[in-house]
Amino acid sequence: MAQRLDGKALAQKIQAQLATDISQRDPNLRPPGLAVVMVGDNPASAAYVRNKERACDRIGITSFGSHLPADTAQETVAELIDQLNNDERVDGILIQLPLPSHLDSVALLNRIAPDKDADGLHPENMGRLMRGEAGLRSCTPAGVMAVLKEYNIDATGQKAVVLGRSILVGKPMALMLLAANATVTMAHSRTEDLPALCRQADILVAAVGRPNMINSDWIKPGATVIDVGINRIEDETSGKARLVGDIDFASVEPIAGAITPVPGGIGPMTVTMLMHNTVLSYRKRFNG
């Protein structure tokens, strides 16, 4: 059976270290601050925001929440971002996605000051990633890389396949694996013969948002399988909802060398890297 890569345990370990670092700061300095902007009443978004606020409380980060009505105008959200950019208490700004359809999410994300871009999605931070320069990194891919490091999975010389090409996960994930000296292939809905391509992967990262899409026929024996997907499905027997990934865990676990579970894999790491980015911005502000 594959080794289970426990993202939840690693997230707790990193958060504990962040909490220690914050507690040991100069007592004359304020704690780090994270501002989360949410527009509308999406239940999943509300749950994510609560998780982030709880993580802030555990670590010692001051949380500044802004919950705006669903019909809030673009100009109003933009003005709020400008205020947060200029707020000396705030080190990180996060816009909870998705936004209501009438809002231009790209314009709003780009309005965040690059050094307060807690999600690592600003073009300047993406450019730094492309150039191999230091900067804030996209949280989910950074969480994947932290898991690989924790379990001593060296990407050097490995064939890596990334399923999905979103700006949130797929594209930055490919760049991070490339920086770790893997040979990277990006695949997507238009890729021909996906199973054959995936069977070549020493490291497979799935971020397509389709429940249990990838089964054992897609997996190279001994491969490291990273499941970024979080899909809510209804159990036919109980009628209750449960979370599954993009990987059919039951069929893949006996074949893979290592695998992340859902839940308890990359999900907790995404929130943790958001906290990490906020603390990184804070340190840069006060330590140069």
| Catalytic residue annotation | 52, 96, 119
Phi/psi for 233 (5° steps) reads: -125, 160
Pairing of strands 159-163, 183-187: parallel
Residues 6+ apart with CB under 8 A from 288: none
Phi/psi for 90 (5° steps) reads: -105, 125
CA–CA dist 211, 206 (Å, integer): 11
| 4 appears as a binding residue in the annotation | no
Count other Cβ atoms within 10 Å, centred on residue 41: 11
| 66 appears as a binding residue in the annotation | no
Phi/psi for 187 (5° steps) reads: -125, 160
At residue 222, the 3 state secondary structure works out as: coil
| 164 appears as a binding residue in the annotation | yes
* Beta carbons of 162 and 172 less than 8 angstroms apart: no
Q: Which residues of 100-136 are buried (b: 16+ CB within 10 A; e: fewer)?
A: beebebeebbebbbbbbbbbbbbeebbebbeeeeebb
Residues forming beta bridges with residue 232, ordered by sequence position: 243
| 230 appears as a binding residue in the annotation | yes
**Binding-site annotation: residue ranges:** 164-166, 230
**Binding-site annotation: residue ranges for NADP(+):** 164-166, 230
